[in-house]
């Protein structure tokens, strides 16, 4: 065998191995739906501390809009749901490391996040809202009013990024959990919190000394976050959401927890 023939043979063999490895990787990456069906359950992550989306009720069980949505989604997929309460700052990492199959936790669909994750069709439509003490409700109407204010946001959330982009003069305080953030607002350590408008309205009902200040700053849509490279799972999730929307389940759950249809 000549050197040139040997090189061509080696090159073809190497390309064949690379192609085979690539196809194997794609096959493995696309097996999640089959694995879920085989296991008979889908592992869904949510915080469990974010009412009315997910919270622990008086009996100690996880409840809320996204809890019931997850249960309905699993039913449509023909499996059981295993809900895993996970702090926000670790929930997407848990998805990436395959400890979770999906995240149903008001994950806002953004261009930046779509580079790392696949998202289902939106299941809620809301906005970024400032929550303040009721006595200060007239002090914040626009993003300009946040300048010089101490504003609490979840660490690594779209609220933190929005604040950096739209009001760099705000004094940003980040939190790993919601209870501490709300407590700091009520005792005056911070002037405002940026959260989902729906969550702000719900919290204000339970804490009448707080109020949503002004209109929502921007529109945001939440979708179910999945790992990239799982087209079959994404299609199945979207099909399930379409069914739940068509048969009125989504609207019914929304009206149960928000007294309004916030799903479109």
Percentage of the chain exceeding pLDDT 70: 89
What fold, for 126-220? Answer: D-Maltodextrin-Binding Protein; domain 2 (3.40.190)
Residue 23 above 50 pLDDT? no
Question: pLDDT tier at 29 (50, 70, 90 boundaries)?
Answer: low
Measured CA to CA, the distance from residue 230 to residue 237 in angstroms comes to 11
* Each residue's pLDDT tens digit, 172-204: 999 998 899 999 999 999 999 999 888 898 888
* Each residue's pLDDT tens digit, 123-166: 999 899 999 999 999 999 999 999 999 999 999 898 999 999 99
* Each residue's pLDDT tens digit, 52-94: 999 999 999 999 999 999 999 999 999 999 999 999 999 999 9
Distances (CA, A) of 23 to 28, 31, 32, 69, 227: 9, 12, 16, 34, 18
Contact 155, 66 (CB under 8 A): no
| Burial degree of 98 (CB within 10 A; 0-12, 13-18, 19+) | exposed
The domain limits of the chain are 39-123+223-258, 126-220
3-state DSSP call for residue 27?
Answer: helix
- pLDDT on residue 30: 67
Measured CA to CA, the distance from residue 150 to residue 39 in angstroms comes to 47
Question: pLDDT tier at 214 (50, 70, 90 boundaries)?
Answer: confident
Q: Angle, nearest 10°, between helix axes 249-258 and 65-77?
A: 160
- pLDDT on residue 20: 45
Phi, psi of 170 (to 5 degrees): -75, 150
- Please tell me if the domain spanning 39-123+223-258 has the same topology as the one spanning 126-220: yes
- pLDDT on residue 218: 87
Question: pLDDT tier at 11 (50, 70, 90 boundaries)?
Answer: very low
Measured CA to CA, the distance from residue 153 to residue 137 in angstroms comes to 18
Residue 10 above 50 pLDDT? no
Query: 39-123+223-258, which class in CATH?
Result: alpha beta
- pLDDT on residue 254: 93
**Mean pLDDT, the chain, whole residue set:** 89
Segment 200-213 mean pLDDT: 90
């Amino acid at each position: 065998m000549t050197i040139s023939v040997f090189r061509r043979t080696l090159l073809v063999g190497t390309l064949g191995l690379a192609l085979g490895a690539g196809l194997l990787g794609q096959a493995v990456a696309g097996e999640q739906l089959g694995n879920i069906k085989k296991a008979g359950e889908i592992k869904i992550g949510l915080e469990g501390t974010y009412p009315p989306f997910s919270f622990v009720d008086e009996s100690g069980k996880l409840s809320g809009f996204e809890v019931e949505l997850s249960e309905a989604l699993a039913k449509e997929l023909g499996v059981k749901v295993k809900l895993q309460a996970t702090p926000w700052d670790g929930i997407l990492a848990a998805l990436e490391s395959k400890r979770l199959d999906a995240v149903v936790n008001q994950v806002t669909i953004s261009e930046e996040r779509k580079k790392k994750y696949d998202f289902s069709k939106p299941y809620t439509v809301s906005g970024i809202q400032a929550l303040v003490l009721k006595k200060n409700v007239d002090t914040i109407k626009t993003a300009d009013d946040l300048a010089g204010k101490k504003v609490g946001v979840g660490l690594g959330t779209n609220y933190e990024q929005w604040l950096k982009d739209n009001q760099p003069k705000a004094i940003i305080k980040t939190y790993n959990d919601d209870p501490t953030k709300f407590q700091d607002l009520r005792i005056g350590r911070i002037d405002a919190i940026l959260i989902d408008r729906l969550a702000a309205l719900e919290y204000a009902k339970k804490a009448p000394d707080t109020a949503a200040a002004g209109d929502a700053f921007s529109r945001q849509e939440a979708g179910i976050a999945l790992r990239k490279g799982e087209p079959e799972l994404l299609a199945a999730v979207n099909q399930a959401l379409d069914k739940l929307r068509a048969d009125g389940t989504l609207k019914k759950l929304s009206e149960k927890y928000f007294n309004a249809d916030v799903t479109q």
